[in-house]
Structure 1
Amino acid sequence: MDRISELSNHILSDILTILSTEDLLKTSILSKRWHKLWTLCIDLYFDTSNVLGSNNEEEYAPTVKPGFHLTMKRHPIVILGKRQPIKLTMKRRVTLDDEFVKRVDRFVKNFQGTIIKSFMVNFCLDKEQRRSIDQWITFAIASIFDTRGLDTDDFSPFKNLRSLSLEEVKLDGTYLGNMISSCPWLEQLCLFYCKFRYKILKIKSSSLCHLKIIGCYTVSYSNHQLEVNLIDLKCLKLNSLEYHGYILRGLNTVAVDTPMLKSIDFSISFKKGLGSFAFCATKFPKLEIMHVDIYSTVAAPKIIQPFKHLKELKLKLSLSWKILNDVEYDLLWILNILQASLLLQKLTVMLAYPQFLEHKKDIRDVKTFSHDEVKIIEMGGCVGNWFEIEFVMNVLKYAKKLEQIVLGPYWNEEDSMDWNSDPTWFKSGRERINEKFRDEEVVGREKVVLI
C-alpha cells in the first residue's frame, strides 16, 4: 500500500524539497498522483550535489560568497553565490559549468508551479552565465511575487520586502531611491562595492533599521574611481549604520535625520574627518556603540557636546609608520574621546601594521583627565612603544573604576578574519612594559594583563 501518496500536497511538497533536482524530476513517472507533484516544491535549491551529483561536490570548496540576496520576512528569496574550484582543470571546470547551467535552465523552463517561497543557486557563476542568471532572477521574482505582466520599473511586487543586499552591482541613485520608497517594510539594506552612476547618494526610508554601505564608488571621466558620498540620510527608525568608503573623509557633510541610531561603524581618512566624533555626539543622541577605522595622522578631536549614552568604543588605527617617525605622535588624544563619553564601559584600541619606533619621548602625566565608568580597556597590535606605555600609565592613574587593561600583539586587516602579530612583542615588547611596571610607584600595575 502506497501510504506516502495518501499524504497531503503540503506535506509532500516539504518531502520533495529535500530531494536532489535529478531525483525530484524522476518522481513524475511514479504514478498519475506524482506526475505533477514536483511542481509543488516551493523551496528551490541548486548546488553541485543536487544538480551534478555528489561525486562532483568535493571538487568545489564550501565557502560561499553571496552576490544577490533578497529576503521577505524571514525567508531567503534569491541568492546567487560563488564557490572557488580547487584542483580542477579548466576543461573539467568548463564542462561542469555548462552542464550545471543547462540543467538549471531546463528545470526553470519546465517548472509549472504557480508560486515558490525561496530560490537559491550556489555554484561558481561568472559573467559567461549572465544571461542565464538574469533569466533565473526573473523567474524567481515572478514566481515569488507574481510579477507577470508588470513593467520593470514597477516595484509593487516588493511591497513585503524586508532585506535587500547587493554586491558589485551597477546602480542608479534615483532608481535605488524609488525602489526603497516603494518598500514600506524594508528593514535592512546592504550595498557592497556597487558602482553608481553619480557621486552623491541619498537614502530616505520610513522603515529602514540597518544600513551598510561598503566601498561603493563611481568612475570619473579620467577613469579614476571616486567614493560615493552619502549626503542625505533620513531614516527615522535607523538603529545601526556601517559606512566605509575608499577615502572617506568622515560624516561631517552628511545631512542626517536618524534620531534612533544606537550603533555606528565608519572610516576616517583625512584630518578633517576627525570632526566626525563631534558630529556623532551632536547628531546621534542615543548612540551606544561606535567603531571607527582611522587611516591618517591624528590630532586631538574637539568634542563640545558629550556622548550621553556611549558604552562601547572601538578604534582601529591604520597609520603610516613613515609619518609617525616624522611627527609628534601619541595616543593621549584618545583620552579626549574618553573624557566626552561619560558612561563608556569598554574601550578597544587596535594598532594595525605595528612597528617599533626607536626614538623615545618623555612619558607625560595628563592630570586633567579622569573617568568614572570605564571598566575594560583592550589594546591590540602592541610592540612595546613608548606611547603605548604612556597611554597605559595615564589610564591606570585616572580611570577610577578600571578593572583590567589587556595588552596584546594581535591585529587584523580589513575584511579579514585572520589575526597577525609582530614578533617584536614576544622578543622584547612585553619585557619593556614589564620592566616599566615593576616600579612600585606605578598606580594600578596589578590591573595590567600582557598576552
Structure 2
Amino acid sequence: MCHKREECDGEDRLSELPDELLVSILSGITMKEAARTSVLSHRWEKLWTFYPCLDLDGSKRLDNFLSQIRDIGPGITSERRNEILDIQRGGYINWVNHILESSQLHVVDEFKVQFDLDERYKPDIDKWVRFALEKKVKRFELDFSSYKDRVHYMGHYNYPLSLEALPLPSSIFLTSLILKMVAVSDQVLENFISNCPFLESLCVGGSRSLVHLRVPGSSLCLKYVEVTYCKNLKSLELHAANLLSLKYTGLSTAISFMNIPNLVELCVGGKYQQYFVHNLPILSKSFSQLQKLALDLDIKPYFLHMRNIKWFQNPILSQLKQLELHVVASDVQSLLLYSPLIEACPSLNRLALKLDWYKSAIKREVRKLRQCCHLSLKVVEMTGFVGQIVDTEFCIYLIKNAKMLEKMIIDPCYRSPYVIGDIELVEAARECAEQLRSEYCIGDKLIIL
C-alpha cells in the first residue's frame, strides 16, 4: 500500500519530512550538491536557499581551468591567458551573487569566498561583506589569493577593505575570521576584534596594510592566531590570556609574547625564525606551558650558524612534548647541529623532521656522535630521507640516545628542485633505511613508508 501511495503522489517519504529536517539533511553535503537538489521536485526547489553554510570556494574550479590552459601549451599568450581568467572571474562573481540573492537565511553559520580576485570587483565584494555581517555570520573567510602564488599570499591581488565597508552591529557572533590577500588596516582589524567577543580564531595572510597589529583585551575568547606574509608588519602585540595556538610566518618582526600565558602551541617560519632561534633562551621564559613547537627552518643550514649557539646546555622548554623541524638539508652541514635543541626539551616524546634538499659538491665524513640521553623521546618521524650521510647519521644518533624509543617512521621520498619523484632514488633510500634496521637491531621499531 505504501508503495502504491508513493507512486500516486509522485513523492518519496523523505520529501514528506518537515522543512527543518530536510535542511538539516542538506547541511551534511556541500552547498553545490545541496543546490542540485532543486531539480528533484517542486518540494525541493527552494530548500537549498535555507542552507546555513555558504561555502563559495571556487579555487578548485580555477585550478582545473588553469590545468586545461597549461595543457594547451606555450602557444597561448599572457594577454590571452589574462582575458580568459577575467572571464572566469566574472563567472565566479555572477555565481556568488546568484547564491546570495537566492538565499533566504536570516542567520549564516559560515560564509567563505575563495577565488583569484582584485580591487576591480570591490563593489561586489563590499556587498558580500555586508551580507555576511548583517546575517550574523559565525565563520567568515575571504581568500583572494592569486593563482600565481597560492601558498605565500604575496601576489599583486588584494582587496582594500575600508572601515566604512564593515558595518559592525552592536553584537557580532563571529567565532572565526580568515582574511587572505585582503588589505586590512590595523584600525579595521582591531575594531573587528574588539567588537567580536566570541571570536576564537583569527587568520590574516598577505595583508600589505598591517603595520602595528595589536590584539587587545585579556577577556577575549581568542584561542588561535595566525599571521603570515604581511610584509609591512613591524610589530605584533598580543593581549590574549586564553590564546592556545600562535602561528607567525614572515619577516623579522617585534612580537610580544608576554601576555599569552596559556600558549601551548607555537609555529614560527620565514626570516623571523632566525631571530627566534637565536633568542630562544630569553623568549622561552614566556613559554611555561608550551607543549608543541614547529620551526620552519627553510633556509640553507650554513646561514643559521647554530654551531655558534651555546645556550642549549640547560633545559629551556621543560613542558615541550612535540617538536617539528622543517629543514633544508645538505651534507655540507649536519643535522646534529639541532641535537642541543632536542636536549633542551627533557619532556619531548615526539620529534618530526621534514627534509628538503639542495645539491652540494662537497662531501664529508660521518661525524663522531655525541653521547646524551633522551629519556622521554618515544616517536621519531623523518620525511625526506634519502640515505645520505646527513640524515643517516642523525638517525643513528637518535637510535643510540633515545633510550625509550618505540617507533621510528621513515618516509624515503626525495624532495629536491633537481630530482622529483625519482623511483630509483626512493628505492635506494629504502635500502639504506633497511640497513639501519639490521645494523642497529631495531626490528619492528622501524617503520618504512
Q: Same fold (TM over 0.5)?
A: yes
Structure 2 counterpart of 1:208: 222
Structure 1 counterpart of 2:123: 131
Provide, for residues 280-323 of structure 1, a one-character-per-residue CA deviation record: whole Å limited to 9, x for no partner: 5321111111111112434144244432221111101125x5xx
Q: Unaligned regions of 5+ residues in structure 1, if any? A: 48-62, 67-80, 219-227
Letter of the structure 1 residue corresponding to residue 117 of structure 2: D
Conserved 8 A contact 2:136-2:172: no
Provide, for residues 144-179 of structure 1, a one-character-per-residue CA deviation record: whole Å limited to 9, x for no partner: 47xxxx976663445321111111001111221122
Structure 2 counterpart of 1:260: 262
Q: CA deviation at 1:211?
A: 0.9
- Distance in 2, Cα, partners of 1:271 & 1:255: 17
In the TM superposition, what are the counterparts of 1:26-425 in structure 2 within 5 Å?
A: 41=50, 43=52, 64-65=58-59, 84-85=64-65, 87=68, 101=93, 105=97, 115-117=106-108, 126-127=117-118, 128-144=120-136, 155-198=168-211, 200-205=212-217, 206-218=220-232, 228-245=233-250, 247-248=251-252, 253-267=255-269, 269=271, 271-279=274-282, 281-294=284-297, 295=299, 296-300=303-307, 301=309, 302-303=311-312, 304-318=314-328, 325=332, 329-355=333-359, 358-367=362-371, 369-410=372-413, 425=425
Structure 2 counterpart of 1:222: none
Letter of the structure 1 residue corresponding to residue 197 of structure 2: P
Structure 1 counterpart of 2:75: none
Letter of the structure 2 residue corresponding to residue 363 of structure 1: R
- Distance in 2, Cα, partners of 1:408 & 1:107: 44
Percentage of identical aligned residues: 19
Q: CA deviation at 1:184?
A: 1.2
- Distance in 2, Cα, partners of 1:213 & 1:185: 19
Provide, for residues 162-207 of structure 1, a one-character-per-residue CA deviation record: whole Å limited to 9, x for no partner: 1111110011112211221221111000112122253x32223422
Conserved 8 A contact 1:46-1:104: no
- Distance in 2, Cα, partners of 1:15 & 1:347: 42
Q: CA deviation at 1:373?
A: 1.1
- Distance in 1, Cα, partners of 2:324 & 2:286: 19
Q: Unaligned regions of 5+ residues in structure 2, if any? A: 1-8, 28-32, 70-79, 138-162
Q: 1:349 to 1:110 in 2, by over 3 A?
A: closer
Conserved 8 A contact 2:374-2:401: yes
- After TM superposition, the structure 1 stretch with the greater mean CA deviation from structure 2, 380-389 or 331-340, is 380-389
Letter of the structure 2 residue corresponding to residue 126 of structure 1: L
* TM-score normalised per structure 2: 0.67
* TM-score normalised per structure 1: 0.67
- Distance in 1, Cα, partners of 2:54 & 2:401: 58
- Distance in 2, Cα, partners of 1:163 & 1:279: 32
- Distance in 1, Cα, partners of 2:339 & 2:55: 53
- Distance in 2, Cα, partners of 1:447 & 1:7: 54
Conserved 8 A contact 2:213-2:236: yes
Provide, for residues 374-425 of structure 1, a one-character-per-residue CA deviation record: whole Å limited to 9, x for no partner: 11222222333323333233322222112233444336699xxxx9556674
Q: CA deviation at 1:360?
A: 1.7
- How many residue pairs get matched? 384
- Distance in 2, Cα, partners of 1:391 & 1:12: 57
SS of aligned partner of 1:165: strand
Q: 1:335 to 1:233 in 2, by over 3 A?
A: same
Q: CA deviation at 1:130?
A: 3.2
Provide, for residues 35-92 of structure 1, a one-character-per-residue CA deviation record: whole Å limited to 9, x for no partner: xx98984748597xxxxxxxxxxxxxxx7449xxxxxxxxxxxxxx966536589899
Q: 1:318 to 1:180 in 2, by over 3 A?
A: same
Greater strand share, 1 or 2?
1
Conserved 8 A contact 1:356-1:384: no
Q: 1:6 to 1:375 in 2, by over 3 A?
A: closer
Query: Greater CA radius of gyration, 1 or 2?
Result: 1
- Distance in 2, Cα, partners of 1:379 & 1:132: 47
